[in-house]
Structure 1
Amino acid sequence: MRFMVMHKMTDEMEKGLPPEPAIIEGVGKLIEEGSKEKVFVSGEGLKPSSQRVHIVYKSGKRTMTNGPFTDARELPAGFALMRVRSKEEAISWCDKLAAVLGDVELFLGAVNEAWDLGMMPKPENAPLRFLAMHKADERAENEAPPDPHTKAKLDALIDEMTKAGVLQATGGLASTKKGARIRFKGGKSTVMDGPFTESKELIAGYAILDLPSKAAAIDWAVRFGEVVKVNEIEVRQMSEG
């Protein structure tokens, strides 16, 4: 089973400052351990909400709102990690996704690279990567399968993005009924099983894990939360296929 473990933004992260060396070291050790045990699949951190855009597609019209976001509501149903030449190109791919899905709402944010964190010099022709996460709706929460026509168009778009060298990773998330939220306060963690509703804290980053159960994913998420010093982590099972 695969899980997406998403940690939420904090006030410190919103400032856009590099993490403390102890946090970078702790995360590095956890990822190294997870890679050796073939648990850690991939993961990325995102830049502050001031560098993100909220895009709403409704009745064929697109509305964009630039961050920062202090009270945005986010409940992911799926994601696409893209490597592009510009933010405008990333938005154009979001337009194509909306043309397939119809009414949809998403957040688009730039990925934090190693040079953004001061871990290495920025290379020439550095890649520009964006993560698009679209919000869940009633259909997604009920895990209703897409109709064959929509699925065929979505498969065709994924193929187009892959051949263009744009799509780095993509996937859907199962209903929040199969998920959990972990809140950290006063050195303690509290786990709340789904279903749950939207959260006003935007995602600060994620890890995709290959684990045998939700309980194992929660255990890993608790360890991660203690290292990165966040207030909340969301654990979501990924959709099969």
Structure 2
Amino acid sequence: MRYMVMHYQTEAMEDGVLPSPEEQAAIGQYMQEAALSGVLLSGEGVAPSSAGARLEVTDGEVRVIDGPFAEAKELIAGFAILEVDSLAEAVEHARRFALLVGVERLDVRRVLEFSDL
């Protein structure tokens, strides 16, 4: 089964503060190990909201709002797609990643396949 792990921005991330070189090395090593084991299918970070836009649709009208957005803790900072056997296994990978990166919140959700619909 595939699971998506989404981690959220911190104020520092939204302000463009990068992890230290030591943190980057530890994250890179974990990501490489997960990829080589076949667990990590894809994983990327995203730029701060100041470099993005939000679309809101109301009654068929689309409104485009340029970033930055007010509440950083509600913004996705990055994601990973994992291939694992269970939610418990996905949660364990997410737990390890959260401790490496120092994020406060992650969401783990199963990716629906076309056959699930």
Larger radius of gyration: 1
Determine the C-alpha separation between the residues in 2 that align with 1:20 and 1:47: 17
Instruction: Give the match's secondary structure for 1:34.
Output: helix
1:219 is the counterpart of 2:92? yes
CA deviation string 1:143-185 (max 9, x = no partner) = xxxxxxxxxxxxxxxxxxxxxxxxxxxxxxxxxxxxxxxxxxx
Residues 24-103 of structure 1 aligned to structure 2 (within 5 Å): 24-71=24-71
Q: Of the two structures, which has the highest relative contact order with CA contacts closer than 8 Å and spacing of 6 or more? A: 2
Q: In structure 2, what is the Cα distance between the partners aligned to 1:237 and 1:35?
A: 18
1:15 partnered with 2:15: yes
| Map of 1:209 onto structure 2 | 82
User: Structure 2 length as normaliser, TM-score?
Assistant: 0.90
Paired letter, 1:211: V
Q: How many residues align?
A: 114
Residue 39 of structure 1, CA deviation: 0.4
Between the aligned partners of 2:70 and 2:109, the Cα distance in structure 1 is 23
- More helix by percentage: 2
CA RMSD of aligned residues (A): 1.4
Q: Which runs of 4+ in 1 moved over 4 A?
A: none
Match of 1:232, as an amino acid?
Answer: R
**Residue 111 (structure 2) pairs with residue 238 (structure 1):** yes
- C-alpha separation between the residues in 1 aligned to 2:83 and 2:38? 7
How far apart are residue 57 of structure 1 and its match? Answer: 2.3
With structure 1 as the length reference, what TM-score do the two structures score? 0.45
Aligned equivalents of 1:35, 1:43: Cα separation in 2: 9
* CA apart distance, 1:209: 0.3
* Fraction of identical pairs, as percent: 41
After the TM superposition, which residues 123-162 of structure 1 pair with which residues of structure 2 at under 5 Å, given as runs? none
